[in-house]
Structure 1
Amino acid sequence: MAGFVAMIVYYLVLLQTFDIFAAKDEEWKSGTATYSKETDGSIVTEGACGYGDLHKINYGKYSAGLSSMLFNRGSTCGACYELRCVDHILWCLQGSPTVILTATDFCPPNYGLSSDYGGWCNFPKEHFEMSEAAFAEIAEKKADIVPVQYRRVRCDRSGGMRFTVSGNSRFFQVLITNVGMDGELVAVKVKGSRTGWIPLARNWGQNWQSNVNLHGQPLSFEVTSSSGRALTSYSVAPVNWQYGQTFEGKQF
């Protein structure tokens, strides 16, 4: 019996290991990249994912706006991509170094311009709008647009997931940041000390909402990543939590 249990544990570990490496070794795909000029070397702080100040949540210059083909109406927010400049002898840095970015914003289409001259985020283009500092790690800043190869990779985060609560007595919202592994969440539940588990609806980006009044109760969260992994953080927020506060939970 002990040998059978040991075998089951072995195969579970093996499957988990395979799962991690499969997520990390996606095939390279072709796309394009540009950058936006910002004085602090970052991209805009109020992006379409709702993260606010990207430096405060440690995404900073390694953030990117995605074309609609990749943005997927905000469900890709928080996902991580590895990029390298390819096939351009003048603009790509020697050795094709890579950079890892987090999806934090939407790059809107401009159908008044052609997809190869200004309309870089037009559907179905697969395009990344990077910060100037991150772009300079893979290509010459003189370039307007460069061809890239990209792939989804595992997000390596420091510390636990962060839950920022906002709203009022009739509207509860939580912004979830610093998500490891897949980076993106597909389902979120919240539980107060006087409630069962309540599924939250995606408001926008990684903002999740409900009309329930949870004030005056310690809060627990259950999140599910895009690969189906679920993680529960119990009593993340204490009974006296206030709107606008951020709390740290477990990490994948």
Structure 2
Amino acid sequence: MVIFRTAVFSFILLNLSITTAQEAEWKSATATYSTETDGSIITEGACGYGDLHKATYGKYSAGLSSLLFNRGRTCGGCFELRCVDHILWCLQGSPSVIITATDFCPPNYGLPADYGGWCNFPREHFELSEAAFAKIAERRADIVPVQYRRVKCTRNGGLRFTLSGSSYFYQVLIANVGLDGEVVAVKVKGSKTGWIPMGRNWGQIWQCNINLKGQPLSFEVTSSSGKTVASYNVAPPNWQFGQTFEGKQL
């Protein structure tokens, strides 16, 4: 009987721990929105994706304040947001929306953090596309309190590699990243080289100083969760700068 009670008590504690952990996933922040003609953020941003529709991230995107942006490491990451604690502006039922981090919301220290300087450090703030904001709050609101949590990214197809640079300055933009959405390490390999580590140039654009022209290219990508995937001979020997190629998904 004592053993049975102990087991039951342990089971209850375990369930409470799991529930607490799940509840702790939600964190507090604020959100505003940026207006575009079709309700989305489609212009060049600090992550380097360019047109977000071509990058497959579409309408539901956001710029992040300094703390969340983490110097570009969070680019491509997915967040679930819901508007909370505002009867006037939050939509009924607190519906949520999933967005992709695609830009940086710069601080404005000329304005107070509670009015205008919403992206000032160390605030946690999301500058949503208008389409994403309208999923959780009234468009008339200027700023709303939200809760957010990290979620896995659901992507169609494989990783996308867009090539740019010059003869001895080679860059690749990595987009359409699944799982946690964040890329933390990249290697490239030509037919005449071994695996060459690349450095982050900015956002999710990675670089190395080597001439890879005329060689088929392979890529090894590691996500922030630690998973690594290698895509062999993604680009053919006659690849050109500006082209995009598709590899394996994480």
In the alignment, does 2:78 pair up with 1:89? no
Letter in 1 for 2:80: E
Counterparts of 2:103 and 2:23, CA distance in 1: 24
Secondary structure, counterpart of 1:189 in structure 2: strand
Structure 1: unaligned runs, 5 residues or longer:
1-23
The Cα shift of 1:26 comes to 7.2
Q: 1:250 to 1:28 in 2, by over 3 A?
A: same
Counterparts of 1:224 and 1:238, CA distance in 2: 22
Partner of residue 40, structure 1: 38
Counterparts of 1:234 and 1:38, CA distance in 2: 38
Counterparts of 1:172 and 1:182, CA distance in 2: 26
Q: 1:111 to 1:44 in 2, by over 3 A?
A: farther
The Cα shift of 1:37 comes to 1.3
**4+ aligned runs moved over 4 Å, structure 1:** none
Letter in 1 for 2:140: K
Letter in 1 for 2:182: E
Number of residue pairs aligned between Structure 1 and Structure 2: 229
**Which residue, 200, 203, 209 being the options, matches 1:202?**
200
The Cα shift of 1:144 comes to 0.4
Partner of residue 249, structure 1: 247
Partner of residue 58, structure 1: 56
Partner of residue 102, structure 2: 104
Q: Any residues of structure 2 matched to 1:1-252 within 5 Å, and which?
A: 27-252=25-250
The Cα shift of 1:44 comes to 4.7
Counterparts of 1:124 and 1:86, CA distance in 2: 21
The Cα shift of 1:38 comes to 1.2
CA contact (8 A) 1:25 1:153 kept: no
Letter in 2 for 1:177: A
The Cα shift of 1:129 comes to 0.2
Counterparts of 1:192 and 1:141, CA distance in 2: 50
Q: 1:41 to 1:165 in 2, by over 3 A?
A: same
The Cα shift of 1:93 comes to 0.3
Counterparts of 1:194 and 1:243, CA distance in 2: 19
The Cα shift of 1:60 comes to 2.0
Counterparts of 1:31 and 1:44, CA distance in 2: 24
Q: 1:214 to 1:26 in 2, by over 3 A?
A: farther
Counterparts of 1:134 and 1:152, CA distance in 2: 16
Letter in 2 for 1:182: D
Partner of residue 14, structure 1: none
CA contact (8 A) 1:98 1:137 kept: yes
Counterparts of 2:182 and 2:214, CA distance in 1: 29
Secondary structure, counterpart of 1:143 in structure 2: coil
Secondary structure, counterpart of 2:218 in structure 1: strand
Q: What value does the CA root-mean-square deviation take over the aligned residues?
A: 1.2
The Cα shift of 1:168 comes to 1.1
Counterparts of 1:179 and 1:204, CA distance in 2: 16
Secondary structure, counterpart of 1:34 in structure 2: strand
Rg (Cα) greater in structure: 2
The Cα shift of 1:29 comes to 0.3
Counterparts of 1:32 and 1:168, CA distance in 2: 41
Structure 2: unaligned runs, 5 residues or longer:
1-21
Counterparts of 2:39 and 2:54, CA distance in 1: 14
What percentage of aligned pairs have identical amino acids? 79
CA contact (8 A) 2:42 2:50 kept: no
